[in-house]
Amino acid sequence: MSPEIEEVRHPFLKGLSKHRGAPPTVAVIFGASGDLTARKLVPAIFNLGLDNLLPGEFHLIGFGRKPITDEDFREMMDGAIDEYSRRPLNKEIWERVRQNMSYHAGGYDEAAAFDSLAEKINQIEKDLGRDMQRMFYVSTPPAVFEPIIKNLGSSGMAKVHVHTKLASKVVIEKPFGRNLDSARELNAVINDVFEEPQVYRIDHYLGKETVQDLLVQRFANSIFEPIWNREFVDCVQITVAESLGVGSRGGYYDTSGALRDMIQNHTMQLVALTAMEPPVSLDPESIRDEKVKVIKAIQPLKLMAEGGDVVRARYAKGLVKGEPVKGYMEEAGIPADSSTETYAAMRLAINNWRWQGVPFYIRSGKRMARRASEIAIQFKRPPGILFSEGDKFNVAANTMVISIQPDEGVTLVMNSKIPGLETRTQPVKMHFSYSTTFGSNTPEAYERLILDAMVGDSTLFIRGDETEASWKLVTPVLKHWEECGQYGLEEYAAGSWGPVASERLLGERQHHWRRSG
C-alpha cells in the first residue's frame, strides 16, 4: 500500500478494503454536457461514493465548449443522477462530491483553455497542500480525440507526477479509430504524449459482471477447463443483438455500421476472453497478453460471395414486439445511396493448438427479435450408439450459454430422461441467475471501470496493440464492402434473427444459429 493511498482515509471510506483504495484524484470529463456523462459517468461516480469507493479527496471538473456556470453544471448532474442512477439520490453522500465539482469552458483545440485548466488543478493542489492524481476522461466525438490528447501534452498535464502512484491517466471512449491506419495514427499521437501504462482505452462490455465472470467460469472450475478445446467443443456462437433501430442517430450510424459499432470492439473482446489461453497470473498485462495472442491467431477472412466468411445486411420494415417498425432506409438521416450494414456476421478460424478446426460464429445486429448478448459453447455430441432411434430420443448438443444481457446468468443445456415407464429423453436446462443469487442491484459497468482506472488496474481496458490486432482483421472486410457498394448487401425483416444468408455460414458445417433467450 503506497503512502498516497494510505493517507486518503475519510469518514465515508470507513471499512473500505485497502487494495481498492484510490489516491486523491482530480477527474476531468471532456464532453461534460454530453449524453454519456449524464447517463453513465456521473451516476457511476455517485454510486462509487455511495459504496465508499471514492477517495477522500475527489474533485470533478466538467470540460466542454458550451459556457455553463459551476452551479448550473451541478444542477444538471443532480438531475442526471435522479433520472439515470440505479439507486436514488442520497443528498448527504452526493454533497461531499458536489461541493468539489466545477465546470471549465473552452474549445478542445484551444491551447489556452488547457493552460487555464492546468492552473485550476494546480490551485486545487495548492489549496489542499498535496499532490493529486489527474484522470482525464475523453467522452467526446472521435474527431476531437487528437486535439485533446495533444493539448494535454502541450499544457504539461500529461506528464504530471509521471512514474509515481499519482501519474496522470487518460481514459478514452470508443470508437478507437475507423480502420487499421487511423487506429495506428491515434496510437502514435497518444504514445507521443502518454506512456502506455497511463492509457485506458475503454470498452464498457468488459465491465459487465458476466464478462468478468467468464474467466472465473473457465479457470476456476475443473469441470470446464479440461474440455474447453477442440477435442470437445463443436463450435462457439457469440450474439450481440439489439431490438432497437437507429432512432435519431441515423446520420451518425450511417457513417459507422454494425462492423465498426459492435463487431470490432465489443464482440471481438468476447471472442478473446472465450478463446484465450490461461494467463500466468491475474496481473493485467498477463491477461492482456493472452487476449492479443488469440486475436492475432484468427485467420484472415475469406470475402468471396459464395463460401465466404462474412455476411452483411440491413433491416427492412417488420414487426418488433407486435408493433410495425420502418426499415433502415426509411429512418431519418439515411441517404438514398446508403450501403451501411445494420447486421454483420462472421465465421472465424483460430489457428492455434486449442481451437484448430473449431468455428467461432459471431453476429451483431439492430432491429432483431429481441435484445440479447450471449456466448454459447456448443460441445460435440456423444457417439450415436444408445440414443439414436428415430424420434424416440430428443438428444440435443450439450451447450453452455453465458448470458451477458439483459438477464445475466449461465445456463447448461443437457439431456435427461422424461419421467414414465418408457425411456424417452429431452433437453433440459440448469440455470444460474445473477439476480436470483446475488440480487438485482449489481454495479453498472462504468462503476467498475472508473474505479479500476482510478486505482490503476488496467485488466479490463484495451491495450494499443490489441486494438490494432482487431482492426487488422476487420479492415479488409470494410474495404471490400466499400468497393462493393450495395452489391451483396442482404435484407432481413425487423423483428427477425437476421438474413437467411447468415444461416449459410453455419450450414456449411451442419450448424445452426441458436434462438437466443
Q: Tell me 156's DSSP state.
A: T
d(CA 289, CA 224): 22
CA distance 270 to 377: 12
310 within 8 A of 303, measured Cβ to Cβ: yes
Dihedral, 235, 240, 245, 249 alpha carbons, nearest 10? -130
- Dihedral (Cα; 412, 415, 419, 421), 10-degree rounding: -170
Q: CB–CB of 461/200 below 8 Å?
A: yes
Q: Which residues pair with 417 in a beta bridge?
A: 425
Task: Please tell me the distance from the alpha carbon of residue 201 to that of residue 191, in angstroms, as a whole number.
Answer: 13
DSSP tag of 163: T
DSSP state of 509: T
Three-state SS at 63: strand
Cβ(124)–Cβ(132) below 8 Å: yes
Residue 425 backbone dihedrals phi, psi, to 5 degrees:
-125, 160
Whether 513 and 497 have beta carbons less than 8 Å apart is answered as yes
Q: Residues with Cβ < 8 Å from 432, sequence gap 6 or more?
A: 409, 410, 411
Distance CA 338, CA 127 (A): 55
Residue 78, all three cell numbers: 443532480
* 373 strand-pairing partners: 240, 405
Q: How many secondary structure helices (H) and strands (E) does the chain include?
A: 17, 17
Rounded distance between C-alpha atoms, residue 198 and residue 153, angstroms: 13
Catalytic-residue membership of 266: yes
* Candidates 266, 431, 511, 512; catalytic one: 266
Distance between alpha carbon 38 and the CA centroid of its chain, in Å? Answer: 18
Spell out a b/e string for 226-246, using b for 16 or more CB atoms within 10 Å of the CB, else e: eebeeeebbbbbbbbbbbebb
The burial of 401, by beta-carbon neighbours within 10 Å (0-12 exposed, 13-18 middle, 19 or more buried), is given as: buried
Question: Can you tell me the distance from the alpha carbon of 344 to that of 183, in angstroms, rounded to the nearest whole number?
Answer: 21
The number of beta carbons lying within 10 Å of the beta carbon of residue 97 is 20
CA 476 to chain centre: 23
Cite the active site residues: 266
